[in-house]
Amino acid sequence: MTPYDFIQSVTSDAPKRAKKWRSLSKQELNQILIETPPVWKGSSKLFRNLREKGLISYTEYLFLLCILTKPHAGFKIAFNMFDTDGNEMVDKKEFLVLQEIFRKKNEKREKKGDEEKRIMLRLQLYGYHTSTNSRADDISNLLSDTTLLVHFFGKKGKAELNFDDFYRFMDNLQTEVLEIEFLSYSNGMNTISEEDFAHILLRYTNVENTSSYLENVRCRIPEEKGITFDEFRSFFQFLNNLEDFAIAMQMYNFANRSIGQDEFKRAVYVATGLKLSAHLVNTVFKIFDVDRDDQLSYKEFIGIMKDRLNRGFRETPKYGLKDYYVCVTTVTSEHLRELWKQFRSRDMLG
């Protein structure tokens, strides 16, 4: 898939246009990757600037999804996982080794649940084709250069990646996705409405009747003040620390205490080190305090936000997941067989 496909897959419910599958020669691939900037020139507009001029592998897609839900405090842990020799630099070989381990781990997870299947179904919608067919590994080896590899390690693959650049990349990616979601509602303004904020939070969740939550906002915040991007970003940084916050919330539950706005802000700060604005916290309460008792229970908030954090990859599709998945993988296998034939014919001609 392309950088544009990736952005679309995590910020929209469905592709804006039909995506046609195509095969690339090594020369065509190199031509596409030639405009990939080095990591020290990265920005929060990297994927938007590259658009179709790039290539992201399946394993990299999983890696990027993890970045979107990782707290900033976890960036160092992620880097150290790649830095297998402990020299505080990561080379291309180390990066590829851990990615391979990561891919195999996700293949094993597929047997335990449907999350991996949902990821693959989402990929299919946005034009990416993958399969558990062993030939896919051979094809990925032939197409060794990708946008991420060139971005991190240069066109010759000899550069090394340091932690500061790695941290900046992860932070920029989180910011870019949030900017796209925010701008889709702000219409060029500096804020989005509290109701739009509620719409964004309830996307990709299992909430069936969102109208009651939206009605809460309309009735309980009659004078619109708006949510700034800084507030918006700080809330999603908090969501990436949701597990730590959930522990604090459970302590209130064990003490048979509900949680008010002051307790909520304190729990967020203690668990994550983030200070959420009073208006942002008030808006969250007005959205999720369904019984309108000015208290927020674990059930009213944590369960819904865990779904939102995973951007729909834990949702169960409405129409026959098993049948649809069989159909998708059948088509995928056909594409891969055709692609394999093309590579084999090139090898014989070469």
Q: What is the pLDDT of residue 161?
A: 94
Q: Quick check: 336 pLDDT over 70?
A: no
Q: Comparing 12-26, 44-58, 318-332, which segment has the lowest mean pLDDT?
A: 318-332
Q: What is the pLDDT of residue 16?
A: 63
Q: Quick check: 338 pLDDT over 50?
A: no
In the block, which residue shows the tokens 């708006």? 226
Q: Quick check: 46 pLDDT over 90?
A: yes
In the block, which residue shows the tokens 């620390």? 241
Most confident of 159-173, 218-232, 322-336: 159-173
Q: CA 75 to CA 90: how far, in whole Å?
A: 14
Instruction: Tell me how many degrees the CA angle 227-229-234 measures, rounded to the nearest 5.
Output: 95
**Beta-strand pair 89-90/161-162:** antiparallel
| Between residues 60 and 315, the one the model is more confident about | 60
- Rounded to an integer, the average pLDDT of 78-82 is 84
Q: CA 180 to CA 99: how far, in whole Å?
A: 27
Give tens-digit pLDDT for 94-123: 888 776 665 665 555 555 555 555 555 555
Residues above pLDDT 90, as percent of the chain: 27
Most confident of 38-42, 78-82, 107-111, 310-314: 38-42
Work out the mean pLDDT of the chain and round it to a whole number. 76
Name the residue among 181, 121, 129 with its Cα closest to residue 2: 129
Q: CA 202 to CA 304: how far, in whole Å?
A: 8
Q: What is the pLDDT of residue 101?
A: 67
- Rounded to an integer, the average pLDDT of 149-157 is 92
Task: Decide if 37 contacts 151 (C-beta within 8 A).
Answer: yes
In degrees and rounded to multiples of 5, residue 191 shows phi and psi of -135, 160
| Between residues 36 and 335, the one the model is more confident about | 36
Task: Decide if 221 contacts 194 (C-beta within 8 A).
Answer: yes
Q: Comparing 156-170, 213-227, 309-323, which segment has the lowest mean pLDDT?
A: 309-323
Name the residue among 317, 68, 324, 321 with its Cα closest to residue 206: 317
Q: Quick check: 133 pLDDT over 60?
A: no
Other CB atoms within a 10 A radius of the CB of residue 154 amount to 16
Q: Quick check: 240 pLDDT over 70?
A: yes
Residues whose CB falls within 8 Å of the CB of residue 37, separated by 6 or more in sequence, listed in order: 46, 151
**pLDDT band, very low/low/confident/very high, at 131 (cuts 50, 70, 90):** very low
Reading the block at residue 344, the tokens are 């084999």
Q: Is 272 helix (H, G, I), strand (E, B) or coil?
A: helix
Reading the block at residue 248, the tokens are 């604090």
Domains and CATH numbers, the chain: 3-174+320-349 (no CATH), 189-309 (1.10.238)
Residues above pLDDT 70, as percent of the chain: 70
Q: CA 15 to CA 208: how far, in whole Å?
A: 22
3-state secondary structure 113-129: CCHHHHHHHHHHHCCCC
Strand partners, 90: 161
For the chain, the straight-line distance linking the first and the last C-alpha, in angstroms and rounded, comes to: 27
**pLDDT band, very low/low/confident/very high, at 41 (cuts 50, 70, 90):** very high
Q: What is the pLDDT of residue 13?
A: 67
Give tens-digit pLDDT for 252-293: 767 666 688 988 898 889 888 889 999 999 999 988 887 788
In the block, which residue shows the tokens 């969501």? 239
| Between residues 179 and 205, the one the model is more confident about | 179
Q: Please report the sign of the dihedral spanned by the C-alpha atoms of residue 114, residue 119, residue 120, residue 126.
A: positive
Task: Decide if 58 contacts 130 (C-beta within 8 A).
Answer: yes
Q: CA 83 to CA 90: how far, in whole Å?
A: 5
Q: Quick check: 217 pLDDT over 80?
A: yes
Strand partners, 162: 89
Q: What is the pLDDT of residue 226?
A: 94
